[in-house]
Amino acid sequence: ESNCTQVTEFSLMGFTEDPVTQATLLLIFLLTYLVTILGNLGVIVLIRASSQLHSPMYYFLGNLAFVDLCSSTIITPKMLVDFISETKGISYAGCVAQVFIFDLFGMTECFLLAMMAYDRYVAICHPLVYPLVMSPKCCFQLVTGSYLAGLANGMGQTIGMSSLSFCGSSIIHLFFCDISPLISLSTSDTTLSHIILRTSASLFGVSSSLVVLVSYVAIISTILSISSAEGKRKAFSTCASHLTTVSIFYGTSCFMYLKPSSDSSKEEDKWAAVLYTVVTPMLNPLIYSLRNKEVKEAL
């Protein structure tokens, strides 16, 4: 270690070296990012401007759109630049910033999705007390708690990264700086980083997913007890959008952070990361808005 020369810049591998494939992916991801920006900004503006959307569900949705906007912006523009750049490098400081901000908003989104599941649970299973339980004060506290959980996760992962030394290879087999490939790239003892990563994923990720799971078990049980077919259809339609987003986001996140390191496949990791860093932020405003009658009326 006395002869260690600390890495000051990392190289991001990206997707491919083939120029045609790179140009195709550049256009696809650029279009995806533009839809993400316009869609999420549109949702935020519409919710703030329309009084009929000033309800707990849309309060959570507005915050989800903001989080998607931020998490996508910390990843996608750099990825697009790398498609047309000969050197796909990122400084150590830039890598630390990317890890912190992405993990902050990534965990915040986990908890916001859990809070939205709880909101649907109260609305469907306990409609009479819904205005009392989901009061503006309660909604503010739930959203604030989500951001604080994200902040704790971001700080934890950044502390874990600061304890790592990088003296050998500086090549990250991904299109952005993420804590998992950085741990495997480190030449120092990674025990602390592994403990922080597993504890954060288990404590925050599992707890938020349990809220979603328990909420939907109760929701499905309530829906099945509804005698009217039309009533069942309406209840299911209010949850379908959220359930779709949750499945994509939690599924890919668990695949990335909770699977054994021996099962790691760089290509699988790369495309799984695309799903929750690029695709999900684009799909969320489309899923929640285009199929929503209230949003269409507000538009």
* Domain membership flag for residue 4: no
Total domains in the fold of the chain: 1
* Domain membership flag for residue 247: yes
* Domain membership flag for residue 1: no
CA-closest candidate to residue 254, choices 240, 237, 275: 275
- Choose between 40 and 297: higher pLDDT: 40
* Domain membership flag for residue 3: no
Indicate if the pLDDT at residue 2 is higher than 60: no
User: Strand pairing partners for 91?
Assistant: 9
- Which pLDDT does position 294 carry in this prediction? 76
Indicate if the pLDDT at residue 48 is higher than 80: yes
Identify the domain containing residue 129 by its residue range.
9-298
Residue 187 phi/psi, 5° resolution?
-105, 5
* Domain membership flag for residue 193: yes
* Domain membership flag for residue 2: no
Residue 164, classed as helix, strand or coil, is: coil
Is the torsion defined by CA of 285, 95, 192, 271 positive or negative?
positive
Indicate if the pLDDT at residue 162 is higher than 90: no
Q: What percent of the chain clears pLDDT 70, i.e. is strictly above it?
A: 90
Q: What is the mean pLDDT of the chain?
A: 83
Band the pLDDT of 271: cuts 50, 70, 90: confident
Indicate if the pLDDT at residue 52 is higher than 90: no
Residue 99, classed as helix, strand or coil, is: helix
CA-closest candidate to residue 98, choices 167, 195, 206, 12: 12
Question: pLDDT, tens digit, for every residue of 60-104?
Answer: 999 999 999 999 999 999 989 888 887 788 888 888 899 999 999
CATH number at residue 192: 1.20.1070.10
Of all residues in the chain, what percent are helix, strand and coil, respectively (each to 5)?
80, 5, 20
How many CA atoms does the CB half-sphere of 71 hold within 13 Å? 32
* Domain membership flag for residue 124: yes
